[in-house]
Amino acid sequence: MIGVGLSMDAFAVAVCRGLALRRPSPGEYLAVALWFGGFQALMPLLGSRLGAEFGRHIDGVDHILACLILSLIGFNMIREGLAKPDGKGNAAPPTKSGDGEILPAKRGVLSLFLLAVATSIDAFAVGISFGVMGNVKILPSVCLIGATTAALSAVGLGIGSLFGAKAKSRAELSGGVLLVLVGVKILVEGFL
């Protein structure tokens, strides 16, 4: 149940990412699953190792960091969704994939890294609680959390791409708004 709960932010972000894609390749499904699932597994492992002492220092700002990262990426998606594709610099600068296909900048490795970190900060706090409890079998727990997140993230990417292929600019705008809302949700939960 903890794995499903922790994976919901990653699922929502994967849906948003899928909104911007017409047809994700198997490599994109794998990348989203590995980045999101990997960080959801890594963060509680690190949290359990660092323990409760460090948790007191990050506890007050973890939700702020996640909100800032998700909001920045979301506002960028909103800007791109509102931009007119006239070739005069209004769209995000393209990058090239390994097969020469032009990809939007938001599909790059740095974007995946930032999204994976932002959606897994709460998993770090869960790991700290695991470390404090002391009776949690950490390796099976983090493997289950990571596998659950990987699977749900891949499903989210597929769901988002189904809707995004029909109305790309509106989907990008909606995806950006959703990312900002997920960031605000994390921020509000952090203050509550």
Give the residue carrying structure tokens 């460090």.
Answer: 54
| Count of domains observed in the chain | 1
**What string of pLDDT tens digits covers the 192 residues of the chain?**
778 877 888 888 888 888 877 788 899 999 999 999 999 999 988 888 876 555 556 566 767 766 777 787 778 767 777 776 544 444 444 444 444 333 443 457 888 898 898 888 878 877 877 776 667 788 999 999 999 999 999 999 998 888 765 555 665 676 678 778 877 887 887 777
| Span 60-69, pLDDT tens digits | 676 776 677 7
Res 132: pLDDT: 63
> pTM value?
0.66
The answer for residues whose C-beta is within 8 angstroms of residue 163's C-beta and 6 or more apart is 18, 19, 171
Say how far apart CA 63 and CA 78 lie, in whole Å. 22
Q: Percentages helix, strand, coil for the chain, rounded to the nearest 5?
A: 80, 5, 20
| Span 3-26, pLDDT tens digits | 887 788 888 888 888 887 778 889
In a domain, 88, yes or no: no
Domain that includes residue 109, residue range: 2-82+97-191
In a domain, 115, yes or no: yes
In a domain, 42, yes or no: yes
